Structure 1
Amino acid sequence: MADPKFEIQMLHDRVMVKVEQDTEERRSTAGIVIPATVKMENRLLWGEVTGVGANARSVKVGDKVLFSPEDQPEVEVHGQIYLVMRERDLHAVATPQTDHGTGLYL
């Protein structure tokens, strides 16, 4: 008999985020090549929301969010690393349309 499968449901205002990995080198505005292996201190990362708790109000599954990866708990599910954080730890949400934003687009 096969093991039962359990669906992960986030509680309260918790958000589960899959981190987008930097797989390519970057270029600074001055044209300097920065290898993908270089870690930058205090750098915010983009990720995709894969689960939200019932009390999360500003994000939904599939949103791209900006956050600080420092001191965020990690969980591994089927070989993929996810971060679990409170909604208040998110800095921004990238949406296709908004009434009030920065005017910047991904």
Structure 2
Amino acid sequence: MNIRPLGDRVVIKRVEAEETTKSGIVLPGASKEKPQEAEVIAVGPGGVVDGKEIKMEVKVGDRVLFSKYSGNEIKFEGEELIILRQNDILAVIEK
């Protein structure tokens, strides 16, 4: 995949939603909430954005949690991706 975000933007791909709840109840497709967990696909260079020096703190392959209504959803080469600013990422998941 060749996509390179600009500035402090990050391209992420949502992880698959759970099919069952922790108690074992199977969820139909319409009942599933979109997950807020994603994998980082591409990272912009950072630099000076709006007069502030931005250091990119995420890297390709990181799993992150992001704000529910942030970013722009796009389709690129048949995949659903989200492009958002680094400050819309709430946390990096470390395993």
Q: 1:15 aligns with which of 3, 10, 18?
A: 10
Count of residues in correspondence between the two structures: 86
Q: Which stretch shifts more, 50-59 or 12-21?
A: 50-59
- The answer to whether the 8 A contact 2:40-2:59 is kept is yes
Q: Which has the higher contact order (CA 8 A, sep 6+)?
A: 2
Q: CA deviation at 1:47?
A: 0.4
Q: Which runs of 5+ in 1 are unaligned?
A: 1-5, 97-106
Normalised by the length of structure 2, the TM-score is: 0.75
Q: Which runs of 4+ in 1 moved over 6 A?
A: none
Opposite residue 52 of structure 1, the aligned amino acid is V
Give distance in 2, aligned partners of 1:8 and 1:77.
Answer: 9
Q: 1:33 aligns with which of 25, 43, 51?
A: 25
Q: 1:26 is paired with a residue of what secondary structure?
A: coil
Normalised by the length of structure 1, the TM-score is: 0.68
Q: 1:93 is paired with a residue of what secondary structure?
A: strand
- The answer to whether the 8 A contact 2:39-2:64 is kept is yes
Q: Which runs of 5+ in 2 are unaligned?
A: 47-54
Pair 1:52-2:43 in alignment: yes
| RMSD of aligned alpha carbons | 2.4
Q: Which entry has the higher C-alpha Rg, 1 or 2?
A: 1
